[in-house]
Structures are given as C-alpha cells and as structure tokens.
Structure 1
Amino acid sequence: MKKIHIKKSKLRKNTAFDRINYAVMTVVAFVMLYPLWYCIVGSLNEGMDYLRGGVFLWPRKWTLTNYKAVFLDKSILSAFKVTIAKSFIATITGVLCTAMVAYAITRPDLKLKKIYIPFIMLTMFFSGGLIPYFILIMDIGLYDSFWVYIIPPMFSAYNMIIIQSFMRDLPGELIESAKIDGASEYRIFFQIVIPLSKPVLATIALFTIVNNWNAYFDAMMYTTSQDLQTIQLFLKKIITDPSVAKGVGAAASISIPDRASTITPQVVKLATMVVTALPMVCVYPFLQRYFVTGVTMGAVKG
C-alpha cells in the first residue's frame, strides 16, 4: 500500500510539473510566434483600413492585393532569384567542402595533421578585420560578382568540428575493409561516409541555408549591382526607406488601378516580410527529422 501511495504522490507531482511546463511553453511559443502572425494578419488586411489600427489577431478587411503588389515588383522577383540561387549553391558547396576537410582530419594517416588543425582553429578566433577582408575581396576579383556569395563561405571551421566529431565515431573497420577491396578515398567518402553522415550533414545544411537566406551584409558590402541584390537587402531597404515601399505600391497601381488606393507602405512592408520568411518556414519541417536524429545520435555517442 505504501508503494502505491508513493507512486500516486509522484504521479501527482509529475502531473503538476507537466501542467506548469505546458503553460510556460505555451506562453513562450505565443511570444515567439505572434510577431510572425501579426505580420501575416496585417499583410492580409486592406492598407487604408489597417491605418485605422486595431488589427491584431485577425484581418478586418481581407485582401490579397498587398501580395499582388509585392510579386508585381520586378526588383523583388530578381532579388528572390538571386537569394534562392545563392542559398542553395552556397549550402551544397559549403557542406560538401567542409565535410571533405572533416573526413580528412579524421584519417589517422593524414600527413601534417598536427599543423592543419591549429591553423583551422585559429580562424575561429582571429581575423584580419572588415577592411582587410574587403580589400581581399577586391583583389581576387569577387567584388560585385555572384561568386562573392559562393566562394568565401565554402568552408566553416565551426561546422567542420561538428562534422568531424560525428565522422570520428563511424566504424573504422568499414573504411579499412573498403580500402582492402580497392576503393579510393573519394569512393569511400561519397559512397560510405556521406550516406552514414546524413543526420549531421542535414543539420549543418539546415543551419547553412538559413544563414545564407537571412544574410544581407555580404550583399550590402560587396555588391553594387541591382541584379545581385538579395531579398534580405531589399527587405532592409523597404523597412528603413519609406520611398522604396511607396515605389512598390506605385508600380502595382499601374497593373491593379482599381485597388491602388488600398495599398499603403505599411502593408507592403508586412507582405514583404511574410514572403521573405515563408520559404524557410516551409523548408524547415523537411530537415527537422534529420536535425533531431543528429542531435540524438550525438548525445548517445557523447
């Protein structure tokens, strides 16, 4: 009877803790999600009606005109194309090159291994600074070029450490048996190591694609051409410069003159924010299962 009483009291305590935990997490989730919801609600509301205020939880006057205005702007469409190409190419090359270095570091027969690792670690803590880096970009011909988005982020020391920590725990006997069968290092890497490292590579790919999608500083500093403008840089301009948002509305008024009076800079900003954030919100669920697997496997191996 005592054991049953103790179990029931523990169950009550756990239930009370769970309720408090659920309540706290619900509040945290609401605080994190509401800003995005607020942008969605405002972007789906008529502009002139939105200026009256009071639109917080649900659109008062529904409309898709704000999104039509955004997608009718050629600058935004061009920025989207650049951002999509930049994000996916930089993610693929960055993860691949970083994984190659990580695999090489895990090999015990790598020559000068003790020299490479300190130099790689040094780049995590020290850099030449912004001005020397800008001069370097100019000297090697990457300034105002699409390749400025691809070549500099091809390797990350921090990501390399995470990947090599995972690869170090892969069965060494599998790699040795492949070598005995005559497999080259490239074949071992692409046909054995890469498939076994999918969880950690997907996790790094998720971090990398989000960072590339959200980055605007590289476009702002190292490009001047409008054809190389990214969506995040355009979003920065549309938020900080009211004339840019007015220009989007004015351009849309030509194609949709009957709804031109309802488009305001405020709702154009909100619609642009939603359109900018939506692709990453859609991509994340597909990579989340790999992310959870990678974290779990890393915790078990640790």
Structure 2
Amino acid sequence: MGNEFYKLSVGEKALKFINYMLIIALCLSIVLPFLNILALAFNAGKDAESGGIYFWPRVWSLENFEKVFESTNIASAFGVSIFRTVVGTFAGVLLTAMAAYALKSKTLPGNKFFMMFIFFTMLFSGGIIPTYMLYKSLHLLDNIWIYVLPGLYSAWNLIIFRTFFQQIHVSLEESARIDGYNDFSIFWKIVLPLSRPVIAVIALFTAVGHWNDWFTGAFYIRSEELRPLSTLLQEMLLSAEALRDTLTEAAGVANYERLAKIQVTANSLKMATIIVVVTPIILVYPFVQRHFAKGAMIGSIKE
C-alpha cells in the first residue's frame, strides 16, 4: 500500500489526501455530536446549564438516567417495544419478501396493475382522521396489534426485494423445478438464503422504525401499559419541560425554591432519553454489519 502511494503522481496524491480529509471530517461530524450527547447525559443537569461541556462530563451524575427509569411503566414499555420490534420486523420482512417474490414473476396475471397500485400508495396518504377511523373499525385502537398489523407491508421494501429477486438467475429456479421443488420450496430453500444481504438491510431499517416510533402509541393507544418505550419517554420529556416552564413563569418564593431543587433539566433528560433509545439499536447493528454494505446497494440497482 505504501509503495503504491509513492508511485502516484502529485495530482493523484493531492486528490487522495483530499478524499481522506473529507472522510475524516464526515466521521467527526457523526461521532462528535454523539460524544456531546453522552457527556451531557452523564453530567449533572444543573451544572450543564452553565455550558462548557463538550465531550467529557464535568460533574458525573446518573440522576438523568434515574429519572428516565423511575417511571412505574418503564418495564412494560420495554416489553411492548421489544414485542413490536421483534414480531413486527420478522413478520413484515417475511411477508413483504413473499409478496415481492410473487410479483417478480412476469407471467403473473395483472403483474403491472399490482405494481402500479403498490407504487400509488407511496405517493398519497389517507390522512390521520381516515386512518384513525379505519383502525377503529378494525378494532385496533388500544390494541397491541396496532403496532404490527398496519406495518406488515412496505411498498418501498417490496420494490427493493422485487428488484433483488429479479437479479437471481432464472436457471437456479429452473434446476430446482426439475428436481421437484414447488414455488414455496424454491423461495424458502434457494431465494431466501441468497437474499441475506438485502434481508439484513430491510430488517435493520424496519426494526429501527418500530423501535423509534412514538406516534402510534401517542395517538392510537390509551392504556398506559400498552405504550412503547419511545412514547413513554416522549411524554416524560414533555412533562419535564412543562413543569419547568410553569415554575419559571409563575411568581412566588415557593416556586423558585422548587425550581432550584430540580437537578435534572429538560435538556439533560433529553440527552439521557436519546441514549436509552439508541443503545439497543447500536447493540444490534454489529450482527448485520457484514451484510449491510452489500445489501444496501444490491437491492436498489437493476441491471
């Protein structure tokens, strides 16, 4: 590698140097903000308000995380988030892949109509009120399955799967049919094993979407025990901000004394909330990393 570098011309060396500097700058733009979030999350909230904290806590404290985990519904919220993420991701990826495999066949009657219909759903949305009425008629309101059933199929993921399946050489399927395989056996024993890269990417994106979704729990769920972690933390954060704003605007010695006793600020609580939400996804990412780079491109390029 070193000898090859010295063989380059001055212009090529300059271009390589610029590329490396741009890559380093991009990495720093991603890593440094996250380090700042970590520092603020583990720093005392009151002390952080004075500023000057960048990448290392000045006054170490776990009060921000204690505030996050003091909710009595935190355990059930974790359970709901894990349930919807695992079940929703597995079912969504499997069913979307099955639909994409069927639609990739050019001999399927109405193939073009179905694809146009699916593409149409990417351009227009029914709106919140019609969606609410639909969920109500399906008895999904205040039901844990509202986190799974509406998101089983994704038009975008289906198109990516279909494009990838079209790149699998048709001779593999023809050979399998000669050996007596039916469509389901071909899909399960040949297509899916060859599709691990794109499956890993779609599964990761789907899991992140399920884990981070707070909207569904806030608008379609009323039971406290059915709310996911992201919704619970969002409500906790809004409550902390509302309490601080109320005490700040209200006059009186008692309010000022209560405000002075609050050590966890809305901003420090926000940083701790971010850490709690993103940590599970960060722990999962290494298991799909080796498939991610290949699958992110291979399902979106059509020869």
Establish whether residue 12 from structure 1 lines up as the match of residue 13 from structure 2.
no
Alignment equivalent of 2:143, drawn from 125, 142, 145: 145
State which drifts further: 120-129 or 107-116. Answer: 107-116
**Shift of residue 217 of structure 1?**
1.4
- Output aligned runs, 1:13-28, within 5 Å: 13-28=11-26
CA-based RMSD = 2.6
Establish whether residue 75 from structure 1 lines up as the match of residue 73 from structure 2.
yes
AA of the residue aligned to 2:26: V
SS of 2:277's equivalent in the other structure is: helix
For residues 37 and 126 of structure 1, the distance between their equivalents in structure 2, rounded to whole angstroms, comes to 39
**Alignment correspondent of 1:287:** 288
AA of the residue aligned to 1:80: F
AA of the residue aligned to 1:131: I
Establish whether residue 226 from structure 1 lines up as the match of residue 224 from structure 2.
yes
Percent same amino acid at aligned positions? 37
**Shift of residue 280 of structure 1?**
1.3
**Shift of residue 139 of structure 1?**
0.3
SS of 1:159's equivalent in the other structure is: helix
**Alignment correspondent of 2:206:** 208
AA of the residue aligned to 1:276: V
**Alignment correspondent of 1:186:** 184
Task: From the superposition, tell whether residues 11 and 73 of structure 1 become closer, same or farther in structure 2 (CA, over 3 Å).
Answer: farther
Alignment equivalent of 1:169, drawn from 158, 162, 167: 167
SS of 1:15's equivalent in the other structure is: helix
**Shift of residue 38 of structure 1?**
1.6
**Shift of residue 266 of structure 1?**
4.2
The CA deviation string for residues 219-259 of structure 1, in whole angstroms up to 9 with x for no partner, is 1221111112122222322333326888xxxxxxxxxxxxx
**Alignment correspondent of 1:125:** 123
Q: What's the TM-score, normalizing by structure 1? A: 0.83
SS of 1:241's equivalent in the other structure is: helix
For the Cα contact (< 8 Å) 2:214–2:231, is it kept in 1? Answer: yes
For the Cα contact (< 8 Å) 1:238–1:244, is it kept in 2? Answer: no
Task: From the superposition, tell whether residues 265 and 127 of structure 1 become closer, same or farther in structure 2 (CA, over 3 Å).
Answer: closer
For residues 182 and 73 of structure 2, the distance between their equivalents in structure 1, rounded to whole angstroms, comes to 47
For the Cα contact (< 8 Å) 2:237–2:269, is it kept in 1? Answer: no
For the Cα contact (< 8 Å) 1:70–1:272, is it kept in 2? Answer: yes
**Shift of residue 71 of structure 1?**
3.0
For residues 86 and 232 of structure 1, the distance between their equivalents in structure 2, rounded to whole angstroms, comes to 12
AA of the residue aligned to 1:209: A
For the Cα contact (< 8 Å) 1:245–1:268, is it kept in 2? Answer: no
For the Cα contact (< 8 Å) 1:44–1:59, is it kept in 2? Answer: yes
**Shift of residue 297 of structure 1?**
4.1
State which drifts further: 285-294 or 107-116. Answer: 107-116
For the Cα contact (< 8 Å) 1:238–1:269, is it kept in 2? Answer: no
For residues 119 and 264 of structure 2, the distance between their equivalents in structure 1, rounded to whole angstroms, comes to 52
**Alignment correspondent of 2:89:** 91
**Shift of residue 301 of structure 1?**
6.2
Task: From the superposition, tell whether residues 85 and 11 of structure 1 become closer, same or farther in structure 2 (CA, over 3 Å).
Answer: farther
AA of the residue aligned to 1:212: H
Q: What's the TM-score, normalizing by structure 2? A: 0.83
The CA deviation string for residues 161-217 of structure 1, in whole angstroms up to 9 with x for no partner, is 111111011121221222222222222111111111111111111111111111111
**Alignment correspondent of 1:39:** 37
For the Cα contact (< 8 Å) 1:66–1:267, is it kept in 2? Answer: yes
The CA deviation string for residues 75-126 of structure 1, in whole angstroms up to 9 with x for no partner, is 2332222112111211111111110011001224423323322222221222
**Alignment correspondent of 2:248:** none
AA of the residue aligned to 1:268: L
For residues 300 and 232 of structure 1, the distance between their equivalents in structure 2, rounded to whole angstroms, comes to 34
For residues 112 and 181 of structure 1, the distance between their equivalents in structure 2, rounded to whole angstroms, comes to 29
For the Cα contact (< 8 Å) 1:232–1:276, is it kept in 2? Answer: yes
Task: Count matched residues.
Answer: 283
For the Cα contact (< 8 Å) 2:161–2:299, is it kept in 1? Answer: no
State which drifts further: 216-225 or 158-167. Answer: 216-225
Task: From the superposition, tell whether residues 243 and 295 of structure 1 become closer, same or farther in structure 2 (CA, over 3 Å).
Answer: closer
For residues 182 and 8 of structure 1, the distance between their equivalents in structure 2, rounded to whole angstroms, comes to 58
State which drifts further: 74-83 or 163-172. Answer: 74-83
Task: From the superposition, tell whether residues 22 and 47 of structure 1 become closer, same or farther in structure 2 (CA, over 3 Å).
Answer: same
State which drifts further: 276-285 or 106-115. Answer: 106-115
Unpaired runs of 5+ residues, structure 2, are 245-260
SS of 2:287's equivalent in the other structure is: helix
For the Cα contact (< 8 Å) 2:141–2:221, is it kept in 1? Answer: yes
State which drifts further: 281-290 or 59-68. Answer: 59-68
For the Cα contact (< 8 Å) 1:216–1:230, is it kept in 2? Answer: yes
**Shift of residue 274 of structure 1?**
0.8
